[in-house]
Chains A and B, each alone.
Chain A
Amino acid sequence: MSPLDWMVLIGTLTVIICYGVWKSRGQRNMESYFLDNQSMPWYIILLSIIGTQASAITFISAPGQAYTDGMRFVQYYFGLPLAMVVLCITFVPIFHKLKVYTAYEFLEQRFDLKTRTLASSLFLIQRGLSTGISICAPSIILSSLLGWNLYWTNMIMGGLLIIYTVAGGTRAVAYTQTFQLAIIFGGMFLAGWMVVHLLPADIGFKQALQVSGKMDKLNVIVTKFDWKDKYNIWSGVIGGFFLALSYFGTDQSQVGRYLTAKSIKESRMGLLMNGLVKVPMQFLILLIGALVFVFYLYFRAPIFFNEAQLARVHKTEQGPAMLKLEDQYNELGTLKQQQVKQLAAALETDNHTQIASAKKALQQTDDQSQVVRTQALSLIKASDPTADTNDTNYIFLHFVVNSLPKGLVGLLIAIIFLAAWGSIAAALNSLASTTVIDVYKRLYNEHASEDHYLKISKLWTLIWGVFCIVVAQFAGSLGSLIEVVNVLGSWFYGVILGIFMVAFYLKRVGGTATFWAAIIGEIVVLVIYWTGTVSFLWLNAIGCLLVVLLGWIFQYFVNTRRLSDSGLR
């Protein structure tokens, strides 16, 4: 990175920290620390919800996903809009009226203490581990691309935000997220514009889309049903609905955002607007990836985007074979450069035969490139069996670091930090609120002063921050981290959602039946995952339905036993 990039990066991060600390003033008790005295307008709620969900990986991985697999990933969000309406009708008014700090407090009022403790514990395990991985995922990529030390990158990625998150609680988190998102969207728009700008002079936005489309990268809708296919319209609408319902309704990192609204109406507006803007937003982020694909047709792509990993292979006995494959790949890249120009020229003529012929030639060369690339991936695995051969997350940042002008590189790197900070800060805040409200205050110290609870809340925010950084330092060896985070979530989300569904819709089912249904449901979800029967997105729906069904059955036996006991008496 150039000195200008460093100035932009350090300047942006410093401004955000100062802004967060400035917004931290006036925290006097737990209500102001965790709920900001319920004073937020809907647009801050909306931006805070988006900022919490959109982590660094969203902005790194989504363009890479479009580059490799096309834009069909957007279907993952199709269930979200409907889930927002259900949430607004069912979850939000109850949370507001009961004046809870966390979603799990409601479970004790509806069921019993053990069900509340079980749900909050599942959340703490899942969110604590996945936040650590969320710190590590962008750190690994940045350290690999820029040659930074991973240990220190993790420290900065997960450490600096602790300053304002500990000091200012929810208020600092929400207002910094708003500021961060403004910078993030501005930077991403600039990046998208630059991709097209860097293409040859005769290739505009429309031509770039045409080329991308001809190479099947604009395949947004997939209607074919397949249990094991992660991204089609059916898994998106049904699996995505349950995932969104669970994430926004029962994950304290999101519930904690909309509980800060000044009224039920403001909470609902924030969530409903999120339902309307999320899909188009994700579509635009993916579109950048589809355009980056076109960029790398005109300007040769490396055989493997994680070049640090490639350099390590060069030093092993597989090095000469890898260099040979790289030569083959580069030759095919040169051929693709010529063929993409022919395709663009054919598209200008509107001659269908010529277009079909040029498209076929380019696709054949691209297929040959993929064969060579697959051989290269085998070599990487042979040289290091623990190496991650998925370079999807490196594609966009490789483009940023190697192709964007000075200054913009620093801004885009800053965006990765800001996106990470937004979601990590919300996670730390929610981990602290759940620990203090559902565990410390409820189980150990119910009658302390407000000042004591405020100090304990700040202390737990700090403890969770340190814990997540420690997890991040060990997470580097887990392979594809984006997948680990998603899988980790799907292990628990469905079951937690099932508990809440029973609470809302099965009024006759009690705490004991729900508690055991959740325990058995969790075991079954884990068994299904290990057997690899279905794609992970379906685990959310399966976990939820299992808890509802088992809860209903168990309650029947509880009732029968009660009747027989009373009969005996």
Chain B
Amino acid sequence: MGTVTLEGVHKAYGNTTIVERLDLDFPDGSFTVLVGPSGCGKSTTLRMVAGLETVTSGSVKINDRDVTALEPKDRNIAMVFQNYALYPHLTVLENIAFPLRATKTPRREARVRAQEIADSLGLGKLTGRKPKELSGGQQQRVAIGRAIIREPAVFLFDEPLSNLDAKLRVETRSELLAIQKRLGITSIYVTHDQEEAMTLSDRMVVMREGKIAQVGSPAEVYGSPNSVFVATFVGSPKMNILRGTLDGTTFQTPEGHSWPLVSQHRGDVLVGLRPEDLLLTADPAGPATITQIELLGPRAVVSLQLEGTKLTSVVEAGALQGLSRGGTVSLDFRLGSAHLFDPMEETRLPG
């Protein structure tokens, strides 16, 4: 059971603001991912919830109790670090049982509980080993075991998967999600990987330069990004942005290329198009040139040059016929897929 509330949480070193007046609610049992480019303040936010970093102003509440001034040990939280921070001098079992030493749990009971958790994580046979005798994935699970043994109010994860290789990362990701759903413990997860954020979260918080850029379910954030920053940060390959003008029925770029685009909005605009919404047709007289084709199995990423603008398109591998490097194509927008942004503010425009 745990809700976390950040009220006007602010962090600054001298004149450098790291996190700016953050207001955020983490409902009980939710899985929230803080995501953003490095230096956006997401890790600092997590560490302020943990109590490892002091808060310049504002307050942190866990279960409606103000914990702003409390030491990490008094906050009833558990944390998994990027490098797992397993205690090298202790065995797997001792590592998992270690938090219970702080609560003065009898040694025998601690061992029994640690063993149960080790079994549930598939570490049952490894309990006598030292951390350095384990693989990366196993170390990761020991760190999770140590986090869940205290039955904390909140789980904090600081890029816990980034030290694993790609295949293991995907597996561990779904394991982690299953564990969190089973225990129903409120979790805050920090990552710079937007794909990880999309697959894990009930709710993602996109951060930029110490501020919240957008909060919402992954579908909302992906489907209607509220700014050019969020639009290009979430989704891979990233969204194409075209500058031009709208007259109600067509969109025209300064170079004179135009596409039909029905909208109530008129005047200068930025049009965002997901790569899969940019359709290609081989055309000797087409305006765009193919600079590169990367085949990813069923689909391919096609890089294009349109006058001075670089564009990306994702096409089905079957539709690659007729497309080759150096060839020209004509472009079409998938109907109703364009995102419109204000050219100055870079914020989302309705319609």
Please indicate whether A and B come from the same complex rather than being unrelated chains: no
Residues of A within 8 A of B (CB): none
